[in-house]
Amino acid sequence: MTKRILGIIIALFLVLQAAAFAAETPAKPHVVILATGGTIAGAGVTSTTTVGYTAAVTPVDKLIANVPELAKVATISGEQVSQIASESMTMEIWLKLAKRVNQLLARDDVNGVVITHGTDTLEETAYFLNLVVKSDKPVVLVGSMRPGTAMSADGPLNLYRSVILAGAREAAGKGVFVMMNDTIHGARDVTKTITDRVDTFRSPEVGALGVFTGDRPVFYRQALRKHTVDSEFDVTGLATLPRVDIVYHYAGNQGTMIDAAVAAGAKGIVHAGTGNGSIAKAEYPAVENALKQGIIVVRSSRVGSGIIARNGEADDDKYGFVAADSLNPQKARILLMLALTKTNDAKEIQRMFWTY
């Protein structure tokens, strides 16, 4: 009899110990990896091929299998949303991606999303999602500057850290991130600054939000401009986005590309001006023709950082221009596209450029 009771006591003790252990060790977060292509999914002929490789060839299940350490930090599932070099990113893929992210993050069993992406337009997709994701769960965009076949490839560690970040409680509510080269950037301010080096992503105006030390994300600042759940933009019912073109200014420019954008049916034009968003006298006939047709003109700058001051280098009040604040041309275009889904009023759009 005593043996039976002893056995029951030992069994009970082991069950309680296992339950206590399970309670102590937090369950691993469930992170979904949405793959779109890029160098992070690229392959070269030799281990020293860091230019002249083929982007967007490795499928998402292989990206995951190539980093077995992912399974230590999260429960992973993967989906292939597209397989492109990101210079070919389209508005259709953006809308598909945004809707899928919102669907996934609405599920209780999904803690965060990582999006693998080419570096060329990574900052654009990140900013677009920063304005349309309807969740405060982490969304992390990640790429690489070297293909997976290269010596010292940067993709695997970038992916590993992105998964940790997407599953980290302290990453919630901070907007969409870009995680590259040990650094955590906010979607609004990050940009690609160097054509061919792993330290290419910078947030020139305000700096990164944080860094990785080992397996740990460390935050030092937080984005103040509105994003995600505080954004007024919603892609749910959208099948397309209004056409907005960017025109680049340079010495001798006569406004030819403004005329071309108007002829192509642009609803908005972002002018990548010189200096503080300057527009040349010779451009004004084309600009005034665009304004007359109800096209919204946003003054940004080709300079790459700094604020475009309203009524600084142009009479914004007189012409009805919108000043881009500190958004570079490619990001100003994204905000203008979304703004045009809500209004065509320049004053209201200016408010949006001072909000996001």
Site for ligand DAS, rule CB under 6 A: 38-39, 55, 85-87, 118-120, 143
Instruction: Give the residue with the Cβ less far from ligand DAS, 66 or 274.
Output: 66
Rounded to 5 degrees, what are φ and ψ at 297? -110, 125
Give the active site residue among 36, 39, 116, 183. 39
Instruction: Give the residue with the Cβ less far from ligand DAS, 118 or 268.
Output: 118
Min separation Cβ 129 and ligand DAS, Å: 16
Min separation Cβ 145 and ligand DAS, Å: 6
Contact criterion met (CB below 8 Å) for 142 and 178: yes
Min separation Cβ 142 and ligand DAS, Å: 10
The alpha-helical segments, DSSP class H, found in the chain are 2-24, 60-65, 70-73, 91-105, 122-132, 155-166, 256-263, 284-292, 316-319, 329-339, 346-353
Rounded to 5 degrees, what are φ and ψ at 225? -70, 150
Instruction: Give the residue with the Cβ less far from ligand DAS, 119 or 135.
Output: 119
Residue number, nearest CB to ligand DAS: 118
Distance CA 66, CA 163 (A): 14
Rounded to 5 degrees, what are φ and ψ at 4? -60, -45
Tokens standing for 146? Answer: 């070297």
Min separation Cβ 254 and ligand DAS, Å: 32
Distance CA 32, CA 25 (A): 21
Burial environment of residue 90 by CB neighbours within 10 A (0 to 12, 13 to 18, 19 or more) = exposed
Residue 274 bears catalytic tag: no
Residues belonging to the active site: 39
